[in-house]
Chains A and B, each alone.
Chain A
Amino acid sequence: MQERIILLVEDNPDDEALTLRALKKNNILNEVIVVRDGADALDYLFGTGQYEGRDTTVQPELILLDLKLPKIDGLEVLRQLRSDSRTELQPVVVLTTSIEEKDLVSSYKLGANSYIRKPVDFNQFTEAVRQLGLYWLVLNQSPRHQRVT
């Protein structure tokens, strides 16, 4: 359980609250680490800054990544974590408001595993979170997970 962390990269507190509620509503009880900007996200992943000394062999099971972020944007976070051996294989789901095709294409080119647009309707949002939780945390076999077991 301790190893199945979800990293939520989200600067908007409302969206954060909605995401956490949607997770809770779907009984996804994994530990959720919330970071509010791209720099914090990278600090957490690579054990730098305020996360200095963190055990970086423990990496989140799922990264929910917003694209529009302060300091360092989501695409740059994605690019950096894909070029580091510690995080290159971690599942990343882009969870965003944007429907811009260039964002979608860039995300996939940089190695995103999924691209989900946040629906305005909370019920739809909850359903989306349920499906991605079920898929990435239950059905999907990640390489690291296999190595550990």
Chain B
Amino acid sequence: MQVSDTKKSNRHLLLGFALVLLIMGVVTAASLIHIGTLNQYIAQLIIETSLKSDQVFEMRDAMRQRQLRLRDMFISNDRLDREEIWEQHTLAASRFMMARLRLIELGLSEAEKKAMERLTVGASSGSIDQQEMIDAIKEGGSAKIIADKLPEAIQAQNQAFAGMKLLIEIQREQVESQLGFARQRFRNTIWIAMILTGIGLLSGVLISILVLRREAGLAVQLADYQGSLEKKVKERTEKLEVANRELEAYSHSLAHDLQTPLRAVTGFSQILQENSQEKLNSEDKDALQRVITAGKFMATLLDNLLILTSISRIAPVFERVDLSQLAKIAFEHISRRYPEVEAEVIISEGIVAPVDRKLLLLAMECLFDNAFKAVRYRKHPEIRFGVTLRSQRSVYYIQDNGIGFDSRYAENLFAKFQRLHAPGEFGGTGVGLATVQRILRLHRGKIWAEAAQGEGAVFYFSLNETSDDGETRLD
């Protein structure tokens, strides 16, 4: 859960950064495009203006030419010469007209149009004056007319030049204002780009903070959840333990209380059996015997159940105990139960371990009892107790050469009332090994068995293992 959350957060973080980069990219691209259009606009403006000024200069040049030709006209005396000069004068006039037309074609602003008007008025009136003067010269006219007309012509000419100057000034102003405007736009674009980039970076940081905070929140939530879960598990476990203890206490007192009526059933049956030997037929005797046998078996069952349920009431006291000695005592006790079995016992000496003496004696008695039951029909019954090493840990064992069992069912051995043999075949109540397991659990140990049908069995047990789950294990 934690891993997938982190992945999710990382994805959010990446998404946030991708968004920020996208915004910055878009801003940069838009700025570049905008600056590009501005550049294009300025370039066009410059081309347009230079074309316009070309025409203005062309007009000025043409007017100068006309003036120069007019002067030539005054100076020259040759008729042919005059003809040629006249032609040149006319050419200059048409050049002027052409330039003017081109200028108008290029498109003029209102201010330019006014300047142009002034220019045109000056030029055309100058032109008329010139025409009159030239006509006078051609006809060899009087210098008076020429002298009269000259100031007017000069004035008109000056007016035309002033118009031109104005035009150029207007154009320069226009270019300057356009350039200023472009510069302003450029500056604005840069500002907007910077602001947007700033917003992008800020939102990136914000997204990161939000994601990180959310992640932290999730972690806290997860911890809370885990905490409450642990608490719940603990509560349930406690409840379960209480219920288990109650159940066990109930089993214990039940096993205890059942003994009294059982004693009555068995006891009076035995009295009946003894007193009515002659009166009963064989079938009745058999029935009565069965009641007594069943009663005794039940008594053993109750005894074992009492032992099993009393183990959990004992607080174990651990001390260093000579297990070899304990095994000898257990063997002594059990061999008295099976006087008909002459078993050879081989006990390894000097095995010492920290255990609860009483509990471990009980466990060993159960294991020896088990072994006696397994070997009682053997010709040379043999039971061994010893210690060996498994994974560098001491493992204790009780081995017999008895009837063994099918190791597929080895796990069932340690469950209460589970038996792998029919009662007649093996005897026992099935509680013994469950008792051993419970005792070993109190010692944080384990028990497991290895066997083959008909080839004896080995019961291994360990003590003080680190884990305390007490599971049965099969090797």
Contacts and interface: CB of A to CB of B under 8 A. Distances in A.
A71 B129 CA distance: 160
Given A98-B256, A99-B306, A120 B268 contact: no
Given A18-B264, A97-B256, A120-B262, 14 more contacts: A14-B261, A14-B263, A14-B264, A17-B268, A119-B263, A120-B259, A120-B266, A120-B298, A121-B266, A121-B267, A121-B270, A121-B299, A122-B270, A125-B263
Nearest to B258: A97
Nearest to B303: A99
A100 B261 contact: no
Interface residues on B, range: 10 to 19
Interface in B256-289: 256, 259-264, 266-268, 270-271
B310 interface: yes
B250 to A, nearest CB: 15
A143 B295 CA distance: 42
A127 B20 CA distance: 99
A123 interface: yes
Contacts of A21: 271
B299 A120 contact: yes
B373 interface: no
A131 interface: no
A123 B270 contact: yes
B270 A14 contact: no
Interface in A28-66: none
Contacts, number: 52
Interface of B: 256, 259-264, 266-268, 270-271, 295-296, 298-299, 303, 306, 310
30 contacts: A12-B260, A12-B264, A14-B261, A14-B264, A15-B260, A15-B263, A15-B264, A18-B263, A18-B268, A97-B256, A97-B260, A98-B256, A99-B303, A99-B306, A99-B310, A118-B259, A118-B263, A120-B259, A120-B262, A120-B266, A120-B267, A120-B298, A120-B299, A121-B266, A121-B267, A121-B270, A121-B296, A122-B266, A123-B270, A125-B267
Nearest to B261: A14
A75 to B, nearest CB: 16
- 5 shortest A-B CB distances, which residue pairs? A14-B264, A120-B299, A122-B270, A122-B267, A18-B267
A23 B266 CA distance: 18
Highest count of chain A CB atoms <10 Å: which of B259, B295, B296, B303: B259
B307 to A, nearest CB: 8
A107 to B, nearest CB: 16
Highest count of chain B CB atoms <10 Å: which of A15, A119, A120: A120
A21 B272 CA distance: 12
A36 to B, nearest CB: 14
A7 B154 CA distance: 170
Contacts of B262: 120
Nearest to A13: B264
A125 to B, nearest CB: 7
A80 to B, nearest CB: 25
Highest count of chain A CB atoms <10 Å: which of B263, B264, B268, B299: B263
Interface string A104-135: 00000000000000111111010000000000
Contacts of A100: 310
Interface string A1-23: 00000000000101101100100
Contacts of B256: 97-98
A89 to B, nearest CB: 31
Contacts of B298: 120
B269 to A, nearest CB: 8
